[in-house]
């Protein structure tokens, strides 16, 4: 699973924004629309709830042969046999995460500067989430990344990059030709009246 992953359309879940009744429905709709990676992001539930939800979502992503990444929680990622874990700059360092999860699990790292990106690759990250590219209501504590910084990061690292932060059908065209591997989105799929159609449209526009 680790090599040859398609990062084209990378969805981060958000129960506060979703139009679907459950996380599972939101994820399945996105997968039907062609989403290529799912990151399960849960900030406000107990470890037990996160674990149980992770198991249910893993069944769905496995049926679609799409990797499941757990946000922040290395313990949950291991417990549900997720395909990967994604950490931010305030979480456990990538190097430590790699020691815990071993060589086979995917590790994604959020980076907003060239030095963070280079360090993440050095420490064993498999891909980077670079942003926030635009202001977003999904996360309020983000650091803005300029297009210039993104291009510097792309030139400096060899691992895949997904851009995040305010990515939607109106902004995704700005990243064509930058060499990034995909788009990480939240509300552009989960907050739409028809998440499946929204995912399909984003993928079509990105690949066009």
User: Which residues are annotated as catalytic?
Assistant: 41, 110, 139
Of the candidates 27, 80, 73, 93, which has an alpha carbon nearest to the alpha carbon of residue 52?
80
Handedness of CA 118, 106, 43, 196 (dihedral sign): positive
- What would you report as the CA-atom Rg of the chain, rounded to the nearest whole angstrom? 16
Buried b (16+ CB within 10 A) or exposed e, 105-117: bbbbbbbbebebb
Asked if 95 and 65 count as a contact pair (C-beta separation under 8 A), the reply is no
Q: What CA–CA distances, in Å, run from 50 to 10, 47, 57, 77, 112?
A: 20, 5, 10, 10, 27
- E-state strands within the chain: 9-12, 37-40, 68-71, 84-87, 106-111, 127-130, 161-164, 182-185
């Amino acid at each position: 699973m680790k090599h040859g992953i398609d990062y084209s359309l990378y969805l981060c879940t958000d129960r506060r924004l979703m139009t679907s009744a459950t996380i599972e429905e939101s994820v399945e709709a996105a997968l039907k629309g062609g989403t290529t990676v799912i990151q399960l992001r849960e900030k406000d539930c107990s470890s037990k709830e996160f674990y149980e939800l992770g198991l249910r979502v893993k069944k769905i992503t496995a049926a679609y042969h799409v990797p499941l990444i757990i946000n922040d929680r290395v313990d949950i990622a291991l417990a549900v046999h997720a395909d990967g874990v994604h950490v931010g700059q305030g979480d456990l360092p990538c190097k430590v995460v790699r020691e815990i999860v071993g060589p086979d699990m995917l590790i994604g790292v959020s980076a907003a500067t060239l030095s963070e990106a280079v360090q993440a690759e050095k420490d064993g990250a498999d891909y980077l989430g670079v942003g926030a590219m635009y202001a977003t209501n999904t996360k309020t504590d983000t650091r803005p990344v300029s297009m210039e910084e993104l291009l510097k990061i792309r030139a400096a690292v060899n691992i895949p990059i997904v851009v995040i932060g305010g990515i939607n059908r109106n902004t995704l065209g700005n990243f064509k030709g930058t060499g990034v591997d995909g788009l990480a989105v939240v509300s552009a799929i989960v907050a739409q009246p028809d998440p499946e159609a929204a995912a399909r449209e984003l993928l079509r526009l990105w690949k066009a």
